[in-house]
Amino acid sequence: MISRYSIAVLPFTEPGPERDHTFLSDGFTMEIIHALSRYSFLHVTSRYSSSKFSAAGTDILYIRNKLQVAWMVDGNLSTSEDVVSITAQLIRTDDGSLAGSFREVVEFSKLTEIQDIFASSIALQIKSNVEPAPISQNRRSVHPEAMEEYMKGQYFLNQLDSSQWRAMMQHFERSISLDPTYSRPMVALCHSYAWLSSIGVVDPVKARKEIDRLVSLIFTQNHQISDVYQLQAEKQFWIEWKPVQALENILTALELNPSNSSALVMKGLILASMGRIDESLNVLFQAERLDPYGENVKYCIGVVHRYTGDFDKAYEYITQSLEISPNWLAPYFSMMEVLCIQHQFGEVEKFIEKSRSVPGFAEMIPVFRGLAAAYAAKKEEALPVVKSFTNSSQKGAIIAPLYYYLGLICLHLELKVETIHWIKKGLQFRASPFLFIHIDSTWEPLQTDLQFIELKQRSGLPEPLSITYRPPAKYQKSRLSSELARNIQHNLKEALEEKQVFMDPKLSLADLAEMCNVSVNQLSQYLNGNLGKNFYDFINRNRLDHFLGNARKHEFKTLSILGLAYESGFNSKTTFNTYFNKEMKMTPREFLKGTDHYIQDK
């Protein structure tokens, strides 16, 4: 049975013979898919599947049956001198009727500035046509300026760029003032307060009061909206440090909307903080399937693996998170931790230089270098970092999450008194990393220390009865039976060589494990123990081989380098270029100059 909330985005086309903007059209197609994927009740067909069809000259019922979708988005992009015209249509696949349309004409020079906002606007228009009944009362504003202000604020929130927090919140506040009955900016403003207070940007007391006020307003409009309970859970978890009460509210939110991926992520984090790691990862994998391009799904899976000591998986998921949210600082922090823990100090410096231009990153470089020096036992380099921030903290000029990193530095310098001092400060100011203090393998050396135990007890965070998951530090040797390993090998060969599942840019470890009829842990163990690769490198190697093979085929002559990369399953220019350089030791353009190929060098 076809779900009435299922949607496919067909490839945007360019009318006329010109093909100078193939990448542009493809990019817009991807942006709309990304935007739609954020709405958890929608079932969005992957780009790999939908790219096989075009509305032009194809029977719509045929597309409906092949893709099993109730709705499809068809669009085109045309250029004329310095002007770009973009049109999108929402079509019912049962009768081919037009359900909605959107058109925008902009100067080419300004196109990249409005791309994300444009895609999100289309997603909201689609949402208004297929919105499920339980949240239909959460209406869109009839005031056009209120909608515009909300969309601008949502754009900043989607970026998770804390350097833009004032502009983001001002947009939401203006939207509410223009239309006091419009709940979407209220919900977004609550999410903003919860996030910003957790990283020390906004005073938690103010954040709690504002969330309570806004939730009360939203509740009076629709007490059945799942967002109300999710917002309460976010406040209780991130600001009040009450995971038990937060879990109760998030379960209510999921009862009202079981496909709310952001609520699933929240549930996964709460369960992780309580030591229920297996449950946490299962919930997070469920969220990943619903929202593969969500801003924080990959990151949260990675950070749970990082806290529990599974650093290979942490690296894999945090890398994907950086590609999805390049302006969000949290994945950069976690990546630095993983690299330091694994003593990859050369990679630390490369990562620092590559990330220097990210908003807010440069200010953290002394801390990251101090952390690397501490892990390398270079006390003379690490200690001055601690001293400089000791002076800053005495003046009140320090953000809460820094207490965590200063504690880590002192721990690895074997400065017990200073370590306890920074942990105490972090708990006092509720620095968000300490929410996971009961499962964080980083603090293993202190587990029997009486002062550390007392600090954990005084934090108010419930101590787990047991940790339900402890991964091996490394796969020394695969413990899979020979028969199971052979079955995985056979199923992988079928999935990759015959079905070419790597061409689906949404493919996840959980998806591939299901195809191989094994658990996620068994597949990961096979890849690491038998092949010596993590999932990220394994799949991207298949995509790269597909790209290299097809670059020499005449039928792909109309594609650009990036177009063929997308065709091979890569989901972004950054991912493709980074992996290509890593494997081939040169850029794609440099490589193709020395080969016979047909694809266009653009």
Q: What is the pLDDT of residue 115?
A: 59
Residues 196 and 321 in one domain: no
Do 180 and 253 fall into the same domain?
Answer: yes
Position 278 pLDDT exceeds 80: yes
- pLDDT band for 510, please (50, 70, 90 cuts): confident
Q: Which single residue is written with the structure tokens 């100078």?
A: 20
Predicted confidence (pLDDT) at residue 21 exceeds the cutoff of 70: no
Reduced to 3 states (helix: H, G, I; strand: E, B; else coil), residue 100 is strand
> Which pLDDT score is estimated for 117?
64
Domain final residue, candidates 214, 235, 258: 258
What CATH number corresponds to the domain at position 319?
1.25.40
Pairing of strands 6-9, 98-107: unpaired
Rounded percentage of the chain residues whose pLDDT exceeds 90: 22
CB contact at 8 A, 351 and 382: no
Q: Is the pLDDT of residue 396 over 50?
A: no
Residues 462 and 542 in one domain: no
Q: Residue 600 domain-assigned?
A: no
Alpha carbon of 289 to those of 43, 506, 518, 571, 597: distances in Å?
10, 8, 17, 16, 36
Which range has highest mean pLDDT (36-50, 79-93, 482-496, 585-599)?
482-496
Q: Is residue 194 part of a domain?
A: yes
Q: Give pLDDT, residue 243.
A: 94
Chain-centre distance for alpha carbon 596: 38
Could you list the beta-strand ranges (E) of 58-168: 71-80, 83-92, 98-107
CB 73 within 8 A of CB 88: yes
Tally of structural domains, the chain: 4
In a domain, 586, yes or no: yes
Instruction: Give the confidence band of 34 by pLDDT, cuts at 50, 70, 90.
Output: low
What pLDDT is recorded for position 106? 74
Instruction: Confirm whether 213 is domain-assigned.
Output: yes
> Is residue 263 one of the residues assigned to a domain?
no
Are 73 and 210 in a shared domain? no
Residues paired with residue 7 on neighbouring β-strands, in sequence order: 44, 71
Comparing C-alpha atoms, which of 229, 286, 232 is closest to residue 256? 229
Burial of 376 by CB count in 10 Å (0-12 exposed, 13-18 middle, 19+ buried)?
middle
> In the chain, what percentage of residues exceed pLDDT 70?
80
Range of the domain at 212: 135-258
Q: What share of the chain is helix, strand, coil (3-state, %, to 5)?
A: 65, 5, 30
- Mean pLDDT over 570-597 rounds to 77
Taking only the tens place, the pLDDT of each residue in 74-86 is 888 777 777 778 8
pLDDT of residue 27: 62
pLDDT at 273: 93
Residue 388: is its pLDDT beyond 60?
A: yes
| Same-domain pairing of 226 and 182 | yes
Residue 472 reports pLDDT greater than 50: no
CB atoms within 10 A of CB 129: 12
The per-residue pLDDT for range 191-248, each reduced to its tens digit, is: 898 888 877 788 888 888 998 898 888 877 765 678 889 989 999 999 899 999 999 9
Q: Which two tokens stand for residue 524?
A: 């990961």
Say which residue the tokens 């490369």 belong to. 350
pLDDT at 108 over 70: no
pLDDT digits (tens, 9 = 90+) for 145-192: 887 788 788 878 877 777 888 999 999 999 999 988 888 889 889 889
Q: Is the pLDDT of residue 323 over 90?
A: no
Residue 47: is its pLDDT beyond 60? no
Q: Give the model's confidence band at 335: pLDDT under 50 very low, under 70 low, under 90 confident, else very high.
A: very high
User: Tens digit of pLDDT for each residue in 377-387?
Assistant: 899 999 998 88
Whether 379 contacts 413, CB under 8 Å:
yes
pLDDT of residue 200: 74
Range with the lowest mean pLDDT among 47-56, 278-287, 301-310, 347-356?
Answer: 47-56
Q: Mean pLDDT throughout 354-369?
A: 89
Residues 302 and 390 in one domain: yes
pLDDT tens per residue across span 425-440: 999 888 889 999 988 8
Single out the residue in 240, 258, 276 at which a domain terminates: 258
Which of 108, 131, 154 is at the close of a domain? 131
Report pLDDT for 476: 43
Look at residue 431 and tell me if it is in a domain: yes
Read off the CATH number of the domain in which 214 is found. 1.25.40.10
In a shared domain, residues 111 and 196: no
Is the same domain home to 179 and 96? no
CA distance 317 to 283: 15
Q: Based on the domain organization, do 429 and 296 belong to the same domain?
A: yes
574 or 537, higher pLDDT: 537
For position 134, what pLDDT does the model report? 40
Is residue 482 within a helix (H) or strand (E), and if so which, with residue range?
helix 482-493
Q: Is 287:294 a contact under the CB 8 Å cutoff?
A: yes
Is there a domain that residue 246 lies in?
Answer: yes
189 and 234 housed in the same domain: yes
pLDDT class of 599 with cuts at 50, 70, 90? low
Task: Find residue 105's DSSP bridge partners.
Answer: 85
* More confident position, 168 or 11: 168
When pLDDT is cut at 50, 70 and 90, the band that residue 468 belongs to is low
The tokens describing 13, both together, are 């086309």
> CA separation (Å) from 578 to 137, 540, 573, 581?
45, 11, 8, 5
Query: Across residues 326-332, what is the average pLDDT?
Result: 88
Question: pLDDT confidence of 560, banded at 50, 70, 90?
Answer: confident
Q: Rounded to an integer, what is the distance from CA 114 to the centroid of its chain?
A: 21
- CATH number at 19 reads 3.40.50.10070
User: Quick check: is 433 in a domain?
Assistant: yes
Which residue has tokens 């068994």?
A: 522
What pLDDT, on the 0 to 100 scale, is given for residue 15? Answer: 57
Are residues 532 and 493 part of one domain? Answer: yes
The verdict on 311 and 323 lying in the same domain is yes
- At 397, the pLDDT band (50, 70, 90 cuts) reads very low
The Cβ of residue 283 has, within 10 Å, a number of other Cβ atoms equal to: 24
Name the residue with higher pLDDT: 472 or 174.
174
Share the mean pLDDT of the chain: 80
The confidence score (pLDDT) of residue 55 equals 53
CATH of the domain at 582: 1.10.10.60
